[in-house]
């Protein structure tokens, strides 16, 4: 599998020993709304914070240390840290009906669009 | 009796590094922006008192799509990750606003030292993190040697 997207590229150090990563996402649009997927390995339901403020959706996934204490690292290819990313929502998203689900380290957020008003035919009468 | 050298016996990246070194020698490059092709998945390896521990981030994988095999001191991790679907069908390209995640089949082999109890090897998968436990052989564990006073 060719992993074109490397988390490393976006990793930035916010604290000497604490990494904050930008998780890779997919967004696709359906007739009903937008579906957003984010890869958040190591994040559990209890350690995930989702917040909508004004029109900004912020996700913060906290990752607990995965390794028992006293483990001696022999070989390190990836770093562990928290995930943070925010999105600007368009005006048609119904904030109160946003749904989120977390499974196997992947977050799925459904952002429903407000149903468009049905076009109304205006009767034109002849004078 | 052969002298066991840990550093040499367990360095899954060694061959890759050598290959990269070879590539770099022939190419002029600037350090910024260099992208070394990385093997998937990235792994971390730890040593504990009674075992070695390998971890890998595999978000979106299902346990049934993961396959671990061990033969001749080579541990092979294999799996595939399916992209999301709408109504059991592929999502048309034009519907995507962002596409940053990758999908497909992958495989990676790691050579492991022969001081491992292969029969007691175990693995767990939670929240997209795979952990493989490689228990050390009993005779490798530190042993208390009683000291008598000689009286």
| Tokens (6 digits) for B131 | 């952990």
A35: closest CA among A46, A25, A45, A48?
Answer: A25
Distance CA A48, CA A82 (A): 10
Asked if the structure places residue A28 within a domain, the reply is no
Per the model's pLDDT, the better-predicted residue between A117 and B11 turns out to be A117
Asked if the structure places residue A7 within a domain, the reply is no
Q: Is B47 in contact with A4 (Cβ distance < 8 A)?
A: no
Q: Is the pLDDT of residue B27 over 90?
A: no
pLDDT in the model for residue B17: 52
Mean pLDDT for chain A overall: 85
Which residue in A32, A41, A82 has the most chain B C-beta atoms within 10 A of its own C-beta, making it the best mutation to test that interface? Answer: A41
Instruction: Please report residues of A whose CB lies closer than 8 A to that of B105.
Output: 1
pLDDT in the model for residue A120: 82
For the entire predicted model, the pTM comes to 0.74
Tens digit of each residue's pLDDT (9 = 90 or more) over B69-81: 998 888 999 999 9
CATH code (residue A61): 2.60.40.790
Asked if the structure places residue A21 within a domain, the reply is no
Q: How many domains does chain A have?
A: 1
Structural domain including A89 reads 36-66+79-114
Residues 6+ apart with CB under 8 A from B28: none
Which residue pairs from B83-86 have beta carbons closer than 8 angstroms and sit at least 24 positions apart in sequence? B84/A26, B84/A28, B84/A35, B84/A37, B84/A108, B86/A30
pLDDT in the model for residue A1: 47
Asked if the structure places residue A30 within a domain, the reply is no
Asked if the structure places residue A58 within a domain, the reply is yes
Distance CA A5, CA A25 (A): 10
- Domains of chain B and CATH, by start: 39-92+103-137 (2.60.40.790)
pLDDT in the model for residue B142: 73
Asked if the structure places residue A1 within a domain, the reply is no
Asked if the structure places residue A11 within a domain, the reply is no
Task: Say if A41 is an interface residue toward chain B (CB within 8 Å).
Answer: yes
**CB environment B16-47: b (16+ within 10 A), e (fewer):** eeeeeeeeeeeeeeeeeeeeeeebbbbbbbbb
Instruction: Please report residues of A whose CB lies closer than 8 A to that of B129.
Output: 41-42, 66, 105
Which residue in A10, A23, A37 has the most chain B C-beta atoms within 10 A of its own C-beta, making it the best mutation to test that interface? Answer: A37
Q: In 3-state terms, what secondary structure has residue A3? A: coil
Q: In 3-state terms, what secondary structure has residue B138? A: helix
Q: Is A28 in contact with B91 (Cβ distance < 8 A)?
A: yes
Nearest-neighbour CA in chain B from A79: distance (Å):
9
> What are A92's strand-pairing partners?
none
- The shortest CB-CB distance from B129 to any of A4, A6, A105 is to A105
Q: Identify the band that residue B7 occupies on the pLDDT scale cut at 50, 70 and 90.
A: very low
Nearest-neighbour CA in chain A from B65: distance (Å):
12
- Using CA coordinates, name the residue in chain A closest to B62: A104
């Amino acid at each position: 599998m060719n992993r074109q997207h490397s988390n490393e590229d976006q990793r930035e150090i916010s604290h000497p020993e604490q990494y904050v990563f930008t998780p890779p996402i997919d967004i696709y649009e359906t007739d009903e709304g937008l579906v957003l997927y984010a890869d958040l390995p190591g994040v559990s339901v209890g350690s995930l914070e989702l917040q909508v403020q004004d029109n900004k959706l912020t996700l913060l996934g906290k990752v607990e240390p995965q390794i028992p204490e006293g483990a001696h690292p022999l070989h390190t290819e990836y770093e562990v840290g928290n995930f943070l990313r925010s999105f600007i929502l368009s005006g048609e998203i119904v904030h109160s009906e946003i749904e989120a689900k977390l499974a196997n380290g992947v977050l799925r957020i459904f952002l429903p669009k407000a149903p468009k008003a049905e076009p109304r035919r205006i009767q034109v009468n002849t004078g | 009796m052969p002298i066991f050298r840990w550093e040499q016996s367990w360095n899954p990246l060694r061959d890759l590094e050598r290959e990269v070194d070879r590539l770099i020698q022939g190419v002029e490059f600037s350090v910024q922006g260099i992208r070394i092709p990385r093997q998937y998945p990235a792994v971390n390896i730890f040593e504990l008192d009674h075992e070695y521990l390998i971890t890998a981030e595999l978000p979106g994988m299902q346990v049934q799509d993961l396959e671990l095999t061990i033969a001749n001191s080579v541990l092979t991790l294999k799996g595939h990750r399916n992209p999301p679907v709408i109504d059991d069908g592929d999502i048309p390209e034009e519907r995507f606003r962002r596409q940053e995640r990758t999908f497909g089949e992958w495989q990676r082999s790691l050579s492991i030292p022969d001081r491992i109890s292969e029969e007691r090897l175990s693995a767990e998968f939670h929240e997209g993190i795979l952990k493989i436990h490689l228990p050390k052989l009993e005779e490798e564990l530190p042993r208390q040697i009683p000291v008598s006073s000689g009286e």
